[in-house]
A and B are shown apart, each in its own frame.
Chain A
């Protein structure tokens, strides 16, 4: 299972625990002023699962996103640099494709004068 799979699995676990807690709370008979033990256990499990989800999200991009949101100038500069690099790579690929598609140059005529060298 990949990292994203762990995030989704932990979120699924949290949903299941919340569902179980809702079932116990709504179908159980409770007295005034006291929370039943099963509910307390499930509440703790839900809190742990929520913490697991938050940790998994933070480890799989959440922390990076938070950093980018807290440092907007750096985030924009980084993305612009990446876009420029992608644009340059795209242009280079297009040029390469164009060169490959161009017909080969005619062979040099024997005895022809060498190309003029520009004066320094």
Chain B
């Protein structure tokens, strides 16, 4: 017998999206990209001062950034946002904001980028890290990985990778934040806003070519697994309410009982098929194992966050905490034995006040532009935390859940247990930022749901936030910029100096460490020479190097950051030359190579391949 069922009511045909919404975002995105070459051509990098990159960018750069923001907002406001278009607009936004220095500067900036490139250079070829050169060689995974890529590609340097690494890695981070936000916030628009807010608030500049940049990618991957496919809730077999109480009238049970019940009750199975769960376990375990030799701090952050999630029963696969902890312990004790057996004072150093002094207060120096930018760098994380706390309150009202804010707080424990110098605060902000931005978006979403008019205000806020990001990130570009001439001069200086000689920079700025690690002797530790206002001539004379490298970025660092008189590097060169100890091998404007006037140093005259040498 055939039963005729009434036909299911067909869904009403979707209203076609108006043409303007279909084309507005793509047109704006293409316009933003098309303006980037104009931005590069109209930016006067010679005019960089204490205000950094923002002051010298041409109108085309700002218009490109505005178009990128508008492309994102336009697609988000569209009646049916398209995921590929949102992804493309996000990519354009990253290129036009985080990637603006990569666009307008011909080679990678940042002294530390070249230090890391030098480490890669040292490992390339034989694959063996040099001994007793730098503590970071005890975590060589990143250097070895890129040395392998370099050798496999048959390349002689990583110039292109160094230049474009920041926007690419920030894009990878944004994908991680999007995945986390999808799990935590739901919805179709809020996760994209979280990714954009993360990009806009990420002034921290830990995305240069470095182990921590890749470490954060791995950390976000594991966190996205734990809060995504592995996410679950613990079924309370004893019917014991959790903590905090799910509603104001819920009875509170003794803490010990709650703990015992929580520890003995396994989390539920996730909804995925078992083999997919196993695949996710394997990938997460691989990421955690890779983190141990990758970076010193990142494993602590993810272990702390996973431990919190395991205690509250939010993910299945608690043995991942064991894997990560033992990987860290085994690698640190065995793999990094040289580090802790020779530099234990770095582990024992007190954090707290000294870290606060070094990380924040000591950095408020320089001319007006420098101080203003640094104050903004302090204000932005403060405002981020305020927004996140508001979001935590909204999240709590909505889901009775305090775990996200605890996840953001966990990296702050570093301040009490680690001695990592002045960059510790940067890492604390960075590791907490993904969760903080997601909570912040929850607060903004609650605001918009209460009053729709705030959407326009938030769009304007985005138009303000991203130029501010360019200002803050590029604030040090006067002395962090590296020119093709700097690179060529450094290569030529190493090529003309026999191995084993001591090659040092006049000041710790510029690409002086881009090669020769483990082959040439580096600057020694001369007492009093690490201070910003140190007498560099005395330091050079006491250190007694064979070759001294001088860059224009040193001159600008002295003038804009250390309040030295203009032309101080020229005076230092004159003093070193007039003392009879050094002769000029190469000089062009502020760039110079000085060599010791003894017969031990081979080669004089202009090095080959250096443009404009005199």
Question: Which residues of A pack against B, CB within 8 Å?
Answer: 4, 7-8, 11, 14-15, 18-19, 21-23, 26-27, 46, 50, 53, 57, 60-62, 65, 68-69, 72, 75-76, 79, 82-83
- Measured between beta carbons, the chain B residues less than 8 angstroms from A75 are 344-345, 348
Number of chain B interface residues as a range: 20 to 34
Contact across chains for A50 and B329 when beta carbons are under 8 A apart: no
Q: Which of B285, B317, B322, B333 contacts A50 (CB 8 A)?
A: B322
- Distance of A75 Cα from B343 Cα, bound (Å): 10
Asked whether A26 and B277 contact (CB < 8 A) given A4-B334, A61-B333, A68-B340, the answer is: yes
Q: Mark B263-285, 1 if CB is under 8 A from A, else 0.
A: 00000010000110110011001
- Measured between beta carbons, the chain B residues less than 8 angstroms from A21 are 319
Contact across chains for B333 and A65 when beta carbons are under 8 A apart: yes
Contact across chains for B322 and A57 when beta carbons are under 8 A apart: no
- Measured between beta carbons, the chain B residues less than 8 angstroms from A8 are 330, 334
- Measured between beta carbons, the chain B residues less than 8 angstroms from A69 are 344, 347-348
Ordered by A's residue number, 30 sampled pairs between the chains whose C-beta atoms are within 8 Å are: A7-B330, A7-B333, A8-B334, A11-B327, A11-B330, A14-B326, A15-B285, A15-B323, A18-B319, A22-B281, A22-B317, A22-B319, A23-B278, A26-B278, A26-B281, A27-B274, A27-B278, A46-B319, A57-B334, A60-B333, A61-B333, A61-B337, A62-B333, A65-B333, A69-B344, A72-B348, A75-B348, A76-B344, A76-B345, A79-B344
Asked whether A53 and B326 contact (CB < 8 A) given A7-B334, A75-B348, the answer is: yes
- Measured between beta carbons, the chain B residues less than 8 angstroms from A19 are 282
Contact across chains for B340 and A65 when beta carbons are under 8 A apart: yes
Chain A min CB distance to B58 (Å): 53
B342 on the A face (CB < 8 A):
yes
Q: Mark B309-324, 1 if CB is under 8 A from A, else 0.
A: 0000000010100110
Asked whether A22 and B278 contact (CB < 8 A) given A15-B323, A69-B347, A72-B348, the answer is: yes
- Distance of A59 Cα from B348 Cα, bound (Å): 22
Q: Mark B332-356, 1 if CB is under 8 A from A, else 0.
A: 0110010011111101100000000
Chain A min CB distance to B96 (Å): 44
Chain A min CB distance to B71 (Å): 43
Question: Which residues of B pack against A, CB within 8 Å?
Answer: 269, 274-275, 277-278, 281-282, 285, 317, 319, 322-323, 326-327, 329-330, 333-334, 337, 340-345, 347-348
Chain A, interface SS category: helix
- Measured between beta carbons, the chain A residues less than 8 angstroms from B269 are 26
Contact across chains for A62 and B326 when beta carbons are under 8 A apart: no
Q: Which of B277, B281, B319, B342 contacts A79 (CB 8 A)?
A: B342
Chain A min CB distance to B326 (Å): 6
Chain B min CB distance to A72 (Å): 4
Q: Which of A15, A23, A62, A68 contacts B329 (CB 8 A)?
A: A62
Chain B min CB distance to A43 (Å): 10
Asked whether A61 and B277 contact (CB < 8 A) given A69-B348, A75-B348, A76-B344, the answer is: no
Contact across chains for A68 and B344 when beta carbons are under 8 A apart: yes
- Distance of A18 Cα from B320 Cα, bound (Å): 9
Of all chain B residues, which has the CB nearest A58? B333
- Measured between beta carbons, the chain A residues less than 8 angstroms from B333 are 7, 57, 60-62, 65
